[in-house]
Amino acid sequence: MAIKKERGLRELYQDPHHADAVLWSRRRVLQGAGAMTLARTLGAAIPYLRYLPAGIAPVALAQSSEVVLDLPGLRVLNDRPLNAETPAHLLDDEITPAQRLFIRNNGLPPVDISVDDWELTIDGEACLAPRSFSIAQLKKDFAHHTYSLQLECGGNGRAEFRPRVPGNQWSTGAIGCPQWTGVRLRDVLEVCGIADSAVYVGFKGADSHLSGDPNKTVISRGVPMAKALEDESLIAFAMNGEDIPMQHGAPLRLVCGGWPGSVSGKWLTGLHIRDRVHDGAKMTGTSYRVPCRPVAPGETVADEDLCIIESMPVKSLITYPRSGIEVAGGKPVHVRGFAWAGDLEVARMAISVDFGQSWQPARLDPPANRLAWQRWQASVTLPGAGYYEVWARAEDSNGLSQPMLVPGWNPKGYLNNATHRIALKAT
């Protein structure tokens, strides 16, 4: 017996204009017949339908109905290695709780960890005095610092790229801003001596390769010296005032906020002061790199034409209300969320309820410290009954703003910082 394959909306929208024709022709929608069909599908009329751009599905339809394996509060994308994201409405805390921080593993976490026996080794071509430290020595010999630092996976938002690209299909939940406590990376490196030839710092972790081959390195990325020497770059041993949980890198983790989370190495056992750009696992080839110039969707890009991702782009998230709820038309609705901008600050925040035709400013709070995300909030009044979307758009301190649509395609699906959208039904 033939099995009929169901096509999800995201799959259908790989060709957005064809999808418009299949689901409801633009002409029929704008002339009224299709509008009635679409309204029935959504359960409400769409007062601003004429402003909905072609090729964009209403976000209420795009929300997946797939049944997935659950961790408490997280949506699991892969279980070997474990990768899981957090629904937007569960990221409403100023300081992200450990149980709500996304999990991005590249291999298998270490087992049978002994904190007392754990060592961190500092070496490399540009290290003048290589040495090792126990965790007790790090805590005793160096000043402790605590910062709220935002971490975002470089592939956050990958699910929206068309044509589709391989990898974990993150939606919006591979972001968080916990509070990290540790010692400054700079202080430890300086004790070991930084040669004038130093260019990069690479990390080594204790996670193991999925193949079980002990000779294969799972991931060994890093950052240029300027990033490594920032005040906020930490060798962390605590998260939100407690020991770092295993899935988030216990007992030691490198934390370099504002850059892709892959540079913040978990289960940290080594740091290499390099006299060249670090060439460890997932630092070369196509990993965490984007085309150095714009490319057409689906275009093949040679490795030498890819540039390493550094500071993450400006982005925002609506964490309240939850997408899909009913609200009262004609009455104020409180909307809030967070915004962040890699190494920069967010300068302005705006929201729209008419598919981007008009924008109103939102109140934006300063960050708790450099490289922390920023709370924003606003009040909107939906004019009457119907289907609406709230769109959120942030602008960074250099004047760059989030695009309304998915930005330039790239072969690995990195750096999607399109405006976040939620659906509301006014009654």
The residue written with tokens 């601003």 in the block is 48
pLDDT digits (tens, 9 = 90+) for 140-191: 999 999 999 999 999 999 999 999 999 999 999 999 999 999 999 999 999 9
For residue 314, which of 343, 291, 290 has the smallest C-alpha distance? 343
Considering the domain architecture, whether residues 348 and 234 belong to the same structural domain is answered as: no
Considering the domain architecture, whether residues 274 and 334 belong to the same structural domain is answered as: no
Lowest mean pLDDT among 67-71, 126-130, 388-392, 399-403: 67-71
Considering the domain architecture, whether residues 234 and 349 belong to the same structural domain is answered as: no
Reported as a pLDDT band with limits 50, 70 and 90, residue 59 is confident
Q: Which position has the higher pLDDT, 66 or 276? A: 276
Cα–Cα distance between 188 and 127 in angstroms, integer? 11
**Percentage, residues of the chain above pLDDT 70:** 87
In a domain, 329, yes or no: yes
Q: Which position has the higher pLDDT, 339 or 58? A: 339
Task: Say if residues 351 and 393 touch (Cβ distance below 8 Å).
Answer: yes
Cβ neighbours of residue 216 closer than 8 Å, sequence gap 6 or more? 209
**Percentage, residues of the chain above pLDDT 90:** 82
Predicted local confidence at residue 33, as pLDDT? 55
Q: Which position has the higher pLDDT, 414 or 56? A: 414
pLDDT digits (tens, 9 = 90+) for 320-346: 999 999 999 999 999 999 999 999 999
Mean model confidence pLDDT for the chain? 91
Residue 18 has pLDDT above 70, yes or no: no
Dihedral of alpha carbons 27, 31, 37, 38, sign:
positive
Considering the domain architecture, whether residues 407 and 275 belong to the same structural domain is answered as: no
* Number of folded domains that form the chain: 2
Reported as a pLDDT band with limits 50, 70 and 90, residue 7 is very low
Dihedral of alpha carbons 251, 254, 258, 262, sign:
negative
In a domain, 61, yes or no: no
In a domain, 35, yes or no: no
What mean pLDDT is predicted for residues 35-39?
66
Residue 349 has pLDDT above 70, yes or no: yes
Lowest mean pLDDT among 37-41, 112-116, 264-268, 379-383: 37-41
Q: Which position has the higher pLDDT, 252 or 54? A: 252
Predicted local confidence at residue 41, as pLDDT? 63
Predicted local confidence at residue 65, as pLDDT? 42
Considering the domain architecture, whether residues 333 and 281 belong to the same structural domain is answered as: no
Domain that holds residue 388: 315-426
Structure tokens at 287: 């990993």
Structure tokens at 247: 């899935």
Q: Can you name the residues that pair with 146 across neighbouring β-strands? A: 181
Predicted local confidence at residue 237, as pLDDT? 98
Give Cα separations from 249 to 78, 153, 204, 220 (angstroms): 18, 15, 12, 14
Cα–Cα distance between 334 and 105 in angstroms, integer? 36
In a domain, 359, yes or no: yes
The residue written with tokens 């040495």 in the block is 131
Considering the domain architecture, whether residues 202 and 172 belong to the same structural domain is answered as: yes
Residue 408 has pLDDT above 60, yes or no: yes
Q: Is 167 left (phi over 0), alpha (psi -120 to 50) or beta?
A: left
How would you classify the pairing of strands 119-123 and 268-274? parallel
CATH of the domain at 109: 3.90.420.10
Give Cα separations from 46 to 23, 61, 354, 423 (angstroms): 16, 13, 10, 11
CATH of the domain at 379: 2.60.40.650
How would you classify the pairing of strands 200-205 and 242-243? unpaired
Considering the domain architecture, whether residues 142 and 210 belong to the same structural domain is answered as: yes
Structure tokens at 126: 């540009």
How many CB atoms are located within 10 Å of the residue 131 CB?
A: 14
Considering the domain architecture, whether residues 271 and 331 belong to the same structural domain is answered as: no
Q: Which residues of 138-155 are buried (b: 16+ CB within 10 A; e: fewer)?
A: beeebeebebbbbbbbbb
Considering the domain architecture, whether residues 276 and 342 belong to the same structural domain is answered as: no
Rounded to the nearest 10°, the torsion over CA 4, 62, 388, 35 is -30
Query: Among 241, 274, 308, which residue terminates a domain?
Result: 308
Predicted local confidence at residue 62, as pLDDT? 62
pLDDT digits (tens, 9 = 90+) for 181-226: 999 999 999 999 999 999 999 999 999 999 999 999 999 999 999 9
In a domain, 30, yes or no: no
Query: Among 278, 308, 338, which residue terminates a domain?
Result: 308
Considering the domain architecture, whether residues 182 and 321 belong to the same structural domain is answered as: no
What mean pLDDT is predicted for residues 316-323?
98
Residue 402 has pLDDT above 70, yes or no: yes
What mean pLDDT is predicted for residues 17-36?
54
In a domain, 57, yes or no: no
For residue 334, which of 321, 352, 319 has the smallest C-alpha distance? 321
Considering the domain architecture, whether residues 262 and 374 belong to the same structural domain is answered as: no
Whats the size of the chain, residue-wise? 427
Query: Among 308, 343, 358, which residue terminates a domain?
Result: 308
Predicted local confidence at residue 72, as pLDDT? 73
Residue 70 has pLDDT above 50, yes or no: no
Residue 67 has pLDDT above 80, yes or no: no
Predicted local confidence at residue 50, as pLDDT? 81
In a domain, 21, yes or no: no
Helix/strand/coil (H/E/C) assignment for every residue in the chain: CCCCCCCCHHHHCCCHHHHHHHHCCHHHHHHCHHHHHHHHHHCCCCCCHHHCCCCCCCHHHHCCCCCCCEECCEEEEEECCEEEECCHHHCCCCCCCHHHCCEECCCECCCCCCHHHCEEEEECCCECCCEEEEHHHHHHHCCEEEEECCEECCCCCHHHCCCCCCCCCCCCCCEECCEEEEEEHHHHHHHHCECCCCCEEEEEECCECCCCCCCCCCCCCEEEHHHHCCCCCEEEEEECCEECCHHHCCCCEEECCCCEHHHCCCCEEEEEEECCCCCCCCCCCCCCEEECCCCCCCCCCCHHHEEECCCCCCEEEEEECCCCEEECCCCEEEEEEEEEECCECEEEEEEECCCCCCCEECEECCCCCCCCCEEEEEEEECCCCEEEEEEEEEEECCCCECCCCCCCCCCCCCCCCCCEEEEEEEC
In a domain, 2, yes or no: no
For residue 297, which of 52, 59, 16, 51 has the smallest C-alpha distance? 16
Reported as a pLDDT band with limits 50, 70 and 90, residue 55 is low
Considering the domain architecture, whether residues 165 and 142 belong to the same structural domain is answered as: yes
